Amino acid sequence: MPTLFKKLLFTGVIALFCASSFAQKGVEDGSKFGHGEDSLRCLKNYSLFTEYVKQKAYLDALPSWQIVYNECPLAGKSVYSDGIKIIEYRINKEKDKAKKDELISEMIAIYDQRIKYFGNDRKYNESWIVGRKATSLYKYKKSDRDSRVQIQEWLKQSIDARKTSSEITVLVTYMQNTERMYEAGQAGPEDMVNSYIYVNDILGQMIEKTSKESSKEKIRSIKDNVEKLFATSGAADCETIEKIFGPQLAENTENLDWLKMVNKLLARADCEDAQLLYDISENLHVIEPSSSSAYGLARMYLKTQDLDKAVEYYNEAISLEEDPEQKGTFHYQLGLIMYNKGKLADARSNARKAIELRSDWGEPYILIGNLYAQSAKNFGSNEFEHKTAYWAAVDQFVKAKSVDSNSAAKANELIKLYSQYFPGTEEIFFNGLTVGSSYKLGGWINTSTKVRAK
């Protein structure tokens, strides 16, 4: 081989070696931006997509972001956080279901690549990324049966690893996804209860760990919403609650948090005949008297027909209750007890308080109407005055259906029933009245109404 050719060959190999050394992608050599021209290409496109994302010009950002994502995946965590913004924008704009599903798969791949390259990050490690991945998939695939199973697995994996460091969104999504699985028959009532206990316990620990009061209040609000979600899921029926929590009572008689949790669940599920409610309430009331514990004891005494004791604890439940709607419910129930005790004025007083607290609820008006109707035979001094009580009663039934459509059917039935006891036209005439004129009822009813004939 001629000497000149050997020199040229050697020079070419060296040049090729140097070129490969100085032009290498980050994905190939594990560096942040790569080397040589590739590093310049990566830096340029990194800068471009970052600026576009700041301006929310996500489609403009896409080409430069794809270059960085594919060629220099170690460029920074923002490659993935911004990548999710870009892909979600595209998902939200896409109308074709098949294409949308493809984009959702790409979104999951972004999270997986972040785990691959940044899964060991000190703060935003794999467990954090998995939680974000699950909540993102839930956003788009919550109605998909198979996806729900995968979402639940990822959420549990994240929460198990992070405990009280879990994001609130992850904890709430775990409960929401459990509820959806329960409704679809993919989970049983015990799964729903166990998920609630799991999330509720972590939220409780987070409240204890948090020193900032505003943060505590925010978590308390979330905790309350999780409880409401569970209570309205249908899984929290009395039989399931007793089956799960009954055997645990003996070791939790002095555990205030546990007693409060179970007592509230039983109260929300209207488990007034559950022995566990009575047992829990007695233990809880000894440690810390509360509206829920007083209510439980009131229902217990009501069941045994000790009405005086029931009234005593209802009044205590009302004084301790802070939620206006629940307080209104207690007043209405106390009104029913007073009705049964024959204390009509006290019954009406409680019904009116219930109306003040729950103005869109028809039942208290129906209670007052029934009080007037049932007392008609003893109202006034003659038969005509007896019948005028039915005018006042019907007024209450009309009011009930005007404020609450759920009470309309019952109210109409009562209006039809008691209207037939109105005085006749001649009777009205002989008492010096005319149909449609105003009339004042005295006595304990003490209200104004209109004259009507049957």
Token digits of residue 276: 């566990």
Could you tell me if 172 and 107 lie in one domain? no
Decide which of 96, 118, 140 is a domain's last residue.
Answer: 118
Question: Contact, 262 vs 275, CB < 8 A?
Answer: no
Question: Contact, 131 vs 155, CB < 8 A?
Answer: yes
> What whole-number distance in Å separates Cα of residue 29 and Cα of residue 24?
7
Q: Is residue 387 part of a domain?
A: no
> What whole-number distance in Å separates Cα of residue 88 and Cα of residue 85?
5
Q: Give the per-residue pLDDT at 5.
A: 39
**pLDDT, tens digit, 9 for 90 and up, residues 363-403:** 999 999 999 999 999 998 999 999 999 999 999 999 999 99
Could you tell me if 156 and 186 lie in one domain? yes
How many domains does the structure of the chain reveal? 2
- The one-character DSSP state at 436 is T
- Can you give the residue range of the structural domain that contains 89? 21-118
Q: Give the per-residue pLDDT at 6.
A: 40
Q: Is residue 143 part of a domain?
A: yes
Could you tell me if 215 and 196 lie in one domain? yes
- The one-character DSSP state at 94 is -
Q: Is residue 331 part of a domain?
A: no
pTM metric for this prediction? 0.61
Q: Give the per-residue pLDDT at 23.
A: 59
Decide which of 90, 118, 146 is a domain's last residue.
Answer: 118
- Residues of 431-448 as b/e, b for ≥16 C-beta within 10 angstroms? eebeeeeebebeeebeee
**Element counts in the chain: helices (H) and strands (E):** 22, 2
> What whole-number distance in Å separates Cα of residue 116 and Cα of residue 112?
6
Question: Contact, 166 vs 222, CB < 8 A?
Answer: no
Looking at residue 89, its amino acid is Y
Q: Which residues of the chain have pLDDT under 50?
A: 1-21
SS (H, E, C) 290-334: CHHHHHHHHHHHHHCCCHHHHHHHHHHHHHHCCCHHHHHHHHHHH
**pLDDT, tens digit, 9 for 90 and up, residues 64-107:** 999 999 999 999 999 999 999 999 999 999 999 999 999 999 99
Reported in sequence order, the residue ranges of 64-202 that DSSP labels E, i.e. its strands, are none
**Start-to-end CA span in the chain (Å):** 128
Could you tell me if 26 and 101 lie in one domain? yes
**pLDDT, tens digit, 9 for 90 and up, residues 231-276:** 888 887 888 889 889 999 999 999 998 898 888 888 778 787 888 9
Q: Give the per-residue pLDDT at 4.
A: 36
Q: Is residue 40 part of a domain?
A: yes
- Of 411, 324, 303, the closest CA to residue 367 belongs to 411
- Of 121, 195, 189, the closest CA to residue 160 belongs to 195
Q: How far is CA 346 from CA 93, 208, 300, 301, in A?
A: 61, 43, 22, 19
Q: Is residue 294 part of a domain?
A: no
Q: Is residue 163 part of a domain?
A: yes
Q: Give the per-residue pLDDT at 253.
A: 95
Could you tell me if 94 and 128 lie in one domain? no
Could you tell me if 28 and 76 lie in one domain? yes
